[in-house]
Structure 1
Amino acid sequence: MRLNQFISSAGFCSRRQAERYITAKKVLVNGEIASPICFIEEGDHVEVDGHTIRHTAPDIYMILNKPSGITCTAAPTIAGNIIDFVSYPERLFPVGRLDKETEGLILLTNDGSIVNDLMKEENQQEKEYVVTVNKKITDTFIQDLSNGVDIYNPRTKSYTTTTPCSVTRLSDCTFRILLTQGLNRQIRRMCRRFQYTVTHLQRVRIKHIELGTLERGQWRYLTEEEIAKLKS
């Protein structure tokens, strides 16, 4: 197993962060600084920044129906963080994030090897949301959202055009949207561009994993079938 995968699959950090540790020469294999290309065999001793890496815990995959008010961070210093909310006995971290006000499906795991595949924009992993806005939806609004929206990025002081996407009206003030991007507060910013305000936002699907009837604030383990598709 490649060194970065070994570190991430132990739940210590993501594969990308593991690569940063390796590049910074903070990883030792059998007492020696690891090379950028290194494979781990059974019995090898691995340390990252002074921490011994052990594969003692089984891989854990769960989804949470996150309520509004919970922050998607593993940082214990942040009040209302998602790890304290779930209060699981093993070390976990959220895959990606939902805004504090946004509800719905978020994946938690101790397997860092799946993070890049799910989060890289070029992998085009579909995420589905149900959105309620503050006034009646028009055909023009649905079409404009579908075609892509110029949204302002205050950090770069420039506009980004969102990728065309599927948008379906569900009722006078509610629609369904399928995204493959993950821009910060993307749906809220897209709606604001056309003078609509999001009053409720819920993610109901990531890739093949559906929220279904899972109640707000509750979590469940992924099924074996869901896990297999997640890794395929």
Structure 2
Amino acid sequence: MDQNLERLQKAIANSGYTSRRKAETLIVEGKVKVNGKTVTELGTKVKPEDNIEVEGIPLEKEEPIYLMLYKPRGVISSVKDDRNRKVVTDLLPEIEERIYPIGRLDYDTSGLLLLTNDGDFAQLLMHPKHQIPKVYIAKVEGIPTPMDLKPLKLGINDNGENLKAVKHRILSVDHKKNTAILEITLHEGKNRQIRRMLESIGYPVQKLKRERYGHLNLHGMNPGDFRELSPHEVKQLRGYAQKNVK
């Protein structure tokens, strides 16, 4: 068997065009051509010299790039938005590579977001079995007790989804304003998960920020700032994900 062959969706993801999952959708929808012929089979394998077109655009292999962004509130975690709202790549105009976010942060949530053009790396970090801790700071309306927060670790059923925190603690309370600051750690990242969990126990979120991702943090950064990850940091993230596979 030719050792240089790789699955078409992986080749697309590695080019930086999109994630592997999205690449699979594009293949099935008939939007991918290999050497001029439309391919719809997910098992298709390609050689490095094959010409691949996605949505009419020829793929060009790029050097992998790994970025950390301090996403401000009011920005979409995507590369485009059908309502013309600001997206995270608008904050990175000098980046020429075709990058996309690893996972997402809600429109009203700020904090640490990773972006890359490396499909395998993105897939590795996003898979829930790899259990990379993501630490959030939430300002909530009301002052919960530790007992009030207990359901967060036990798991909360919301619209058929089981939402669960790994850890939580109360950082501070403001009795005058009737608010509290909480730290919550997740392994997963379901849509609006923390907001839904806290709403369900009666403490709606006023403000939410992702403070840490694995060993990475936002120290020294302001909203809108970004930087490249060092090779050591990338290696650490890969190792972290692979170490936690059960």
TM-score (norm 2): 0.81
**Maintained 8 Å contact 1:148/1:165:** no
- Please state how far the C-alpha of 1:170 moved relative to its aligned partner: 1.4
- State the superposition RMSD in angstroms: 2.2
Cα deviation 1:192-217 (Å, max 9, x = unaligned):
11221212211012233322332222
State the match for 1:106 in structure 2.
Answer: 113
- Cα distance in 1 for residues equivalent to 2:114 and 2:81: 18
- Cα distance in 2 for residues equivalent to 1:25 and 1:76: 23
- Please state how far the C-alpha of 1:84 moved relative to its aligned partner: 1.4
Q: Give 5+ residue unaligned stretches, structure 1.
A: 154-158
Pick from 175, 184, 194 the counterpart of residue 182 of structure 2: 175
Note closer, same or farther for the CA distance 1:137–1:221 as it changes in structure 2 (3 Å cut). Answer: same
Q: Give 5+ residue unaligned stretches, structure 2.
A: 1-5, 174-179, 240-246
Which runs of 4 or more aligned residues in structure 1 lie more than 6 Å from their structure 2 counterparts after TM superposition?
none
Is it true that 1:60 corresponds to 2:68 in the alignment?
no
- Cα distance in 2 for residues equivalent to 1:183 and 1:140: 24
- Please state how far the C-alpha of 1:27 moved relative to its aligned partner: 3.0
* Number of equivalences: 225
The one-letter amino acid of 2:70's match is N
State the match for 1:42 in structure 2.
Answer: 48
State the match for 2:92 in structure 1.
Answer: 86
200-209 or 216-225: bigger deviation: 200-209
Identity %: 34
Cα deviation 1:3-27 (Å, max 9, x = unaligned):
2211111111111122233334443
Note closer, same or farther for the CA distance 1:216–1:48 as it changes in structure 2 (3 Å cut). Answer: closer
- Please state how far the C-alpha of 1:66 moved relative to its aligned partner: 1.0
State the match for 1:122 in structure 2.
Answer: 129
Note closer, same or farther for the CA distance 1:214–1:3 as it changes in structure 2 (3 Å cut). Answer: same
- Cα distance in 2 for residues equivalent to 1:48 and 1:58: 19
2:105 aligned counterpart, secondary structure: coil
- Cα distance in 1 for residues equivalent to 2:95 and 2:230: 20
Note closer, same or farther for the CA distance 1:80–1:28 as it changes in structure 2 (3 Å cut). Answer: closer
Is it true that 1:134 corresponds to 2:141 in the alignment?
yes
State the match for 2:153 in structure 1.
Answer: 146
State the match for 2:17 in structure 1.
Answer: 12
1:170 aligned counterpart, secondary structure: strand
The one-letter amino acid of 1:162's match is L
1:146 aligned counterpart, secondary structure: helix
**Maintained 8 Å contact 1:134/1:198:** yes
- Cα distance in 1 for residues equivalent to 2:91 and 2:221: 16
2:114 aligned counterpart, secondary structure: strand
Cα deviation 1:156-188 (Å, max 9, x = unaligned):
xxx433235211221221121111222221111
Note closer, same or farther for the CA distance 1:85–1:181 as it changes in structure 2 (3 Å cut). Answer: same
- Cα distance in 2 for residues equivalent to 1:177 and 1:217: 23
Is it true that 1:201 corresponds to 2:202 in the alignment?
no
Pick from 172, 189, 195 the counterpart of residue 188 of structure 1: 195
TM-score (norm 1): 0.86
**Maintained 8 Å contact 2:72/2:111:** yes
- Please state how far the C-alpha of 1:122 moved relative to its aligned partner: 3.4
Pick from 66, 70, 76 the counterpart of residue 71 of structure 1: 76
- Please state how far the C-alpha of 1:129 moved relative to its aligned partner: 0.7
89-98 or 186-195: bigger deviation: 89-98
20-29 or 218-227: bigger deviation: 20-29
Cα deviation 1:125-145 (Å, max 9, x = unaligned):
321111121222312123232
1:130 aligned counterpart, secondary structure: strand
2:161 aligned counterpart, secondary structure: strand
- Cα distance in 2 for residues equivalent to 1:6 and 1:183: 27
State the match for 1:163 in structure 2.
Answer: 164
